[in-house]
Structure 1
């Protein structure tokens, strides 16, 4: 039988296949370094995972988990059990300090925050309509918002302007107007990552308020992805070019006179603050938009969190003594790991972005260091060149190219690893930069 020459996949499936084939991360995760069992594997400091508290988390799970039979059923439906929503409301009320206390009616549970991002993109935009996203950005925001929902992500350039400043809000407006004038399509939302991935900083309260005013002016939804909200720690080593800003949730702002509350939405999940990417549990918080809740109820079957995840998260968040101690120790460990990574980077005279006090990231200019070590070379794409030498040394970082970096040569190091592992990664990075063609 002759084979058809045309693909049997839809165009959107072809696009997804092409995007997936370029993702090196899955190859890395299937060949991870272990000094005893796989010494030739990759040292991975490119994926946003926090493994510093896995022992404590597993100890809780293995002593507490006793699954009732109802979690083998559909339970309370696709948007999460009532018990879980109560536990989430009580927990997030304690830590996010919302101006209006959360209750279960405000929450839609999903199987991870990626699903939550896709859902709000689908709900707020028709195909081709825009969502504003400042550079640099978490790279997977792009497919989350565009691959299946069909939204157009409008990346916002800041140039020499600090992206966390009041002045930066004007750049969002400029990008909005340019998009609408050139495409004749609407912009429907502004996406924040707060605390920020990859820069590890928090947006000041007055900046968030100005963004809310901008959203009110153009009737945009403000989506604040606060997945790193509790991973905020003390920075003891930087020179404070940008003094760290304490985290304040968008929920903590009294919206009266600022923005229609139907336009404000917050996302959170278990992946980062509790080091549980594999648990697949996220939540959309929308306190005043009943239409959104009704729309997402209809598609919640496609982002159904498992009964095991639902039950385990309920158990965890109901135990305030455990969660308080867990968060405190996690913050201390993140601060220590950041200090370790910065001291090493400084010791090798590598430029990095200062002012971090949140999340797991060190934003470093490896391209500049590579050029200093290899003067006179004709390097057309320094980011690509650095990635090549990193992979030769079997160390995986995320390139700034994937984050829409406005400047070449920047990379993201994930420092939330045990000390031995982090030291091995840092050593391989500097060894890679010294490699010659």
Structure 2
């Protein structure tokens, strides 16, 4: 049976999605010693035992957990829990109220809702390079929006000079008749692991106001920040949510939207809980109610999330320990990089990754013809040694040979993966 043109395009795109071939074959030193070590998926397994223990000790499901709940965009209970939790931890200039949020089954669904709500088919979202690779399917696959990558060349992607680069792309696109819908940042940044300075966020908001587009800050790593005593250049920037900025005189508040979820800060990708925070756009929240059934949070995940977020004492200890462990693993992977003369992007103080130039090392050890793509060569070598990293090609890297290493794994798993990377480059 013939598929629609959009389904055919999605089928074609799925052929390059290695991740879903890798995950069923993951390495385990006892149960699957011949498996693939994945340092390519943004999952934090450092605190899984702690998280699991809390769930099992506090589950206490009541019968409503087996129903649809009381709303397609989140139950009353979860909206109260999440709004209180985020007000405490994101420190917004205006408290987050339950009516300011829409719950979704993960932040991919949240992004897709924003694409559907803000962009007509063919309209564009701006993302700076390198960008989170899954922004592409989240924003474009099902509703026909387009993604416009913004190259920065030698400018800092998170610096003041980057703002003009965004405007250059806007102006060039408008000259071709393309219409802008929004600008999206990953804050803290994926894959660079850094936070945007407050001054840069303000300037990006001003740019969005000037061109009458939406400003979207994906803050799914907001609490996965840690001290960095290794790198001084660029100096690590503390995390400040976009919601800490008073939009008065900067941007129409109805154009400001923030995303957060349980996946990263609580190492819980699998429970599928995401949040759209939009404090001054009730029409956005109302519009999603009618289509919210397609992205509603499981009632059991809803219940688990409330149990977690309402336990202030446990959450405080969890966040502190998680940040400590992330800091330790960051040092571990930086020490590995330095030992093997691998260039990496410094200044990391958030999230789970190190952005590394493996192409440079590969070129130093192998002949690479002028017409060959070193990214493809390195990726082939990595997979032949049964280690998977996210390729810079999928993240809009401006230069070839860059990869993202996820370090939020226990020592044995991380070390096994790093050893295989070195073997692949030999």
Q: Bin the TM-score by the shorter chain.
A: over 0.9
Quickly say closer, same or farther: Cα 1:370–1:292, change in 2 above 3 A: same
Partner of 1:153: 147
Equivalent of 1:234 in 227, 235, 247: 227
SS of the residue 1:363 aligns to: strand
TM alignment of 1:188-207, pairs within 5 A:
188-207=181-200
Contact 1:393 1:432 in 2 (8 A): yes
SS of the residue 1:272 aligns to: helix
Uncovered stretches (5+) of structure 2, i.e. residues with no partner: none
After superposition, give the CA deviation of every residue in 1:233-253 in whole Å (9 maximum; x if it has no partner). 011222x22100000000011
65-74 vs 275-284, which moves further: 65-74
1 CA distance for matches of 2:211 and 2:361? 43
1 CA distance for matches of 2:29 and 2:305? 33
Uncovered stretches (5+) of structure 1, i.e. residues with no partner: 1-6
1 CA distance for matches of 2:147 and 2:90? 28
Q: CA deviation at 1:322?
A: 0.6
TM alignment of 1:130-209, pairs within 5 A:
130-182=124-176, 184-209=177-202
7-16 vs 249-258, which moves further: 7-16
Contact 2:368 2:374 in 1 (8 A): no
Partner of 1:282: 274
TM alignment of 1:207-218, pairs within 5 A:
207-218=200-211
After superposition, give the CA deviation of every residue in 1:83-121 in whole Å (9 maximum; x if it has no partner). 111110111111100000001000100000000000001
1 CA distance for matches of 2:49 and 2:418? 24
Q: CA deviation at 1:343?
A: 0.2
Equivalent of 2:402 in 390, 393, 410: 410
SS of the residue 2:343 aligns to: coil
Partner of 2:90: 96
TM-score (norm 2): 0.99
After superposition, give the CA deviation of every residue in 1:49-72 in whole Å (9 maximum; x if it has no partner). 000000100000110001111121
2 CA distance for matches of 1:236 and 1:344? 16
1:255 equivalent to 2:212? Answer no
1:120 equivalent to 2:114? Answer yes
TM-score (norm 1): 0.96
SS of the residue 1:244 aligns to: coil
2 CA distance for matches of 1:168 and 1:75? 44
2 CA distance for matches of 1:177 and 1:377? 37
After superposition, give the CA deviation of every residue in 1:4-47 in whole Å (9 maximum; x if it has no partner). xxx51111111111111211111110001111121111001000
Aligned length: 426
